[in-house]
Homo-oligomer: A and B are copies of this chain.
């Protein structure tokens, strides 16, 4: 997606060989026009795939996911980050450890909001090692539903996320694929959409 790549080139900040900051248009200050275009781009690709719900992980995925859900005419579900296990039969949980941030949380889904007939599109802002997307897919499986695809805004190609998700049989589609980061340098390889 050229619009997203252009924004990343203009405003993204490569802080190291692995860290890309996009605080000025995705993660902290959010450009609603860009979010709407992202939603339209994902919807154009997924519209004939029978998606019934868009899942995302709080909180940076919410803005692009809600526009994708709107463009597809389906609800969005925000998977919650809980700090502790909920001992109740009403929720599905899976533990996520973020190596980047050194944090751990229980990704949580109320079992009411998924059914075996659901066809789920997972949308997230970043794909690095694939922990969050793998966690989301675990919750979808616990709910007995199917994953139609995983849509990513920015993929770090040099990390193992895509391989890990593809090895589980999931299709990954990224709007921007960053092949190299170094202080002040951001290089792209061809995007999926």
- Chain A residues in the interface with B (C-beta under 8 A): 23-24, 27-33, 35-36, 58-59, 62-63, 66-67, 69-70, 75-78, 80, 110, 112-113
Contacts and interface: CB of A to CB of B under 8 A. Distances in A.
Main secondary structure of the interface of A (DSSP, over half): helix
A144 to B, nearest CB: 17
Contacts of A77: 28-30
How many monomers of this chain does the complex have? 2
Interface centre among A24, A28, A31, A67 (most CB of B within 10 A): A28
Nearest to A36: B70
A30 B110 contact: no
A30 B69 contact: yes
A20 to B, nearest CB: 16
